[in-house]
Amino acid sequence: MLYVLHHDLTHLVHLEHLGRFWSSLRHVLPNCTELRRELRSLSPDNILFGVFTGFIMYKPKHT
DSSP state of 8: H
Report residue 1's pLDDT band, with 50, 70 and 90 as the boundaries. confident
Q: Please, what is the Cα angle at 33 between 28 and 35, to 5 degrees? A: 85
Ranges of each domain in the chain = 2-58
Report residue 61's pLDDT band, with 50, 70 and 90 as the boundaries. low
Residue 7 has pLDDT above 90, yes or no: yes
pLDDT tens-digit profile of 10-56? 999 999 999 999 999 999 999 999 999 988 887 776 665 554 444 55
Answer for the pair 47, 61: CB distance below 8 angstroms, yes or no: no
Please give the pLDDT value at position 40.
84
Please give the pLDDT value at position 51.
45
